[in-house]
Structure 1
């Protein structure tokens, strides 16, 4: 996997992935790097993001790693300034950073609600807005938000999570209308169950029966970060230039 080919347009298009140290974010980073993009990993877990970057470099990728809290706009702005200095202007953003929680609606506190909305929705806003000026200057860009199937179908005990991800879908559509005339496509991927560290923690806590969910999925398996990453790589390609404002369900047929 190499990003050094000068005949590959992706080699000049820097991709920033939030939540890039693990799970869906890392899957997206792997596929974008394989397509030739220099990638910048942003994650709250500083140790994990540097380990992930080292693994990608071992595979021949051009990578920078940054410890970032997407709730803190100054943290994002500082990281992107470093990315520009190390790799160049930002052409691609994948917003995978997020948290989840489960609780009956009557037990959700105001603090719980605010935290989910702040990380999942406001963090997405900060991450995109900080990078868009580079894309506007280049008249080319790709933005992919990671939402959730629960925002489409609803989910018990997840009102705050579903609401935050529903906001991400709405933000995506609004930005598609505003930015697509300027050469920037904006799409969202709402996955169903994906085997990530977050899902594995839910299994350990007894709040998720992964086998049961996989068995009810039409393709009869849970998804992987690579499933989502492959879709991200396509949506970031020149071949996806006529796709914008779309909700691309990487869900194994769980939500039709």
Structure 2
């Protein structure tokens, strides 16, 4: 089984911090050509400064929920690397919400940022992958897409109802796209995580340090994972080693989903 991604071109959204940044760095370190995309210009500029002498790491600044930005992201990737083989939708918008609040706009924003953005970008990129496959000829896979979400999709948290709905919708979109794109030899999978040191969890632990002990106590493996550990799972899913895996949501949580109470904080 080969897990190599050397020489392959990847787009990683949400790459300015946290899980998205860990995935992008992991890919660059393993020889992939990576377009790091994010809407936070200052944060992304700080990240990309570490790769000034690395021609295989480029940046794109834009709102990943806007169609024009998505089209421009693909164009920028093709200008830089001439092709795209991998898409990782790691951009996430997390906000608490009152389950009794009738502010539908807040739920719509969660869906737009966390599900529709990744779905639309996947559609745009998949069309390019299909055209590339026609030129490349027969091969095992024409492309691979991975959507990143959290256990909120299956273990809803009342204070994050809108986010939970969006994560669940994203996972179903992953399955639907997997079926639609399988005839074109494009695989689509998801990674659902918890007890991983994401940007949101870092912020939460700064405000309430006592949560660290609660999370560890609720995680059977007894620790919080580094974001790099999640990146390794994403690498597997986009590699030839997973060439017969599609439509799956891989859970990376140290066993937390097996033991967590429904009301536990999920980040």
What is the TM-score normalised by the length of structure 2?
0.86
User: CA shift at 1:39, angstroms?
Assistant: 0.2
**Separation of aligned partners in 1, 2:193 and 2:122:** 20
- Ranges in structure 1 where 5+ consecutive residues have no aligned partner: 1-7
The aligned counterpart of 2:138 is: none
- The equivalent of 2:144 in structure 1 is 142
Aligned to 2:239: 237
Q: Which residue of 2 aligns with 1:210?
A: 212
For residue 243 of structure 1, report the CA deviation from its aligned partner: 0.8
SS at match of 1:162: helix
1:61 and 1:151 map into 2 onto residues whose CA distance is 37
- Pairing partner for 1:196 from 190, 195, 198: 198
Q: 1:81 aligns with which of 51, 75, 81?
A: 75
The match for 1:163 is: 165
Q: 1:64 to 1:81 in 2, by over 3 A?
A: same
CA RMSD of aligned residues (A): 2.0
Give the match's secondary structure for 1:17: strand
Do 1:32 and 1:232's aligned partners in 2 also have CA atoms closer than 8 Å? no
- The match for 1:103 is 97
Q: Secondary structure at the match of 1:227?
A: helix
Q: Give the structure 1 partner of residue 16 of structure 2.
A: 21
Q: Call closer, same or farther: CA 1:180–1:78 in 2, change over 3 Å.
A: same
Task: State the partner residue of 1:179.
Answer: 181
Q: 1: distance between equivalents of 2:210 and 2:185?
A: 41
**Quick one: which of 104, 114, 118 aligns to 2:112?**
118
- Check whether the contact 2:151–2:193 (CA below 8 A) recurs between aligned residues: yes
Residues 101-130 of structure 1 deviation map (CA, whole Å, 9 limit, x = unaligned):
223301362221111111001111122122
TM superposition shift of 1:207? 10
Displacement after TM superposition at 1:216 (Å) = 1.3
How far apart in 1 are the matches of 2:4 and 2:209?
A: 44
Over residues 164-191 of structure 1, what are the superposed CA-to-partner deviations in whole Å (9 max), with x where a residue is unaligned? 0001100000011111221111100010
Structure-2 separation of matches of 1:138 and 1:208 = 50
CA distance in structure 2 between the partners assigned to 1:14 and 1:22 by the alignment: 20
* Distance change in 2, residues 1:15/1:125 (3 Å): same
Paired residue secondary structure (1:42): strand
Partner Cα separation in structure 2 for residue 210 and residue 101 of structure 1: 20
C-alpha distance in structure 2 between counterparts of 1:181 and 1:65, whole Å:
32
